[in-house]
Amino acid sequence: MITVRRDTGIVGSAMKLDVYINDIKVARLGNGQMQTFELPSDQAELRVGFSYVKSNPVTIQDGQTAIAKGSIAGSFFWIFGLKSSYIVIED
C-alpha cells in the first residue's frame, strides 16, 4: 500500500490533480488531499498530472509515501517541456 499526498500550493489549485499507477488513472486529488492505494506488486510506476501534462514517472515501493509538488515555472512554460508537477518520495 502507498500513500499519495498533494501539496502543490498555488499551482493548479483550481484543478484536481490526476494520479496514475502504471499509467492507469486511479484518483483525482484536490490540494492538501491524501489517499492510499494498493499496488499490484511490490513496486509500481507513479505519475501525477494536470489534464494531459504529466510528471516524469517515478518508481514507488510498497509502504512509501509520495508527495505531489507543483512548479510555478512549469505551469507557465509547459509548452517548452517543463513539468508543472513532480513527485517527492518519502520513506
pTM of this structure: 0.84
22 vs 47: CA distance, rounded Å: 8
Q: 72 and 10 in contact (C-beta within 8 Å)?
A: yes
pLDDT above 50: residue 75: no
Q: How many degrees, rounded to 5, is the angle at CA 60 between CA 33 and CA 89?
A: 60
Mean pLDDT lowest among 2-6, 15-19, 40-44? 15-19
Q: 60 and 86 in contact (C-beta within 8 Å)?
A: no
pLDDT: which is higher, 7 or 85:
7
In angstroms and rounded to an integer, the radius of gyration of the C-alpha atoms of the chain is: 12
40 vs 69: CA distance, rounded Å: 24
17 vs 84: CA distance, rounded Å: 11
Q: What is the pLDDT of residue 72?
A: 55
**Percent of the chain surpassing pLDDT 70:** 79
Q: What is the mean pLDDT of residues 56-72?
A: 87
Q: What is the pLDDT of residue 71?
A: 62
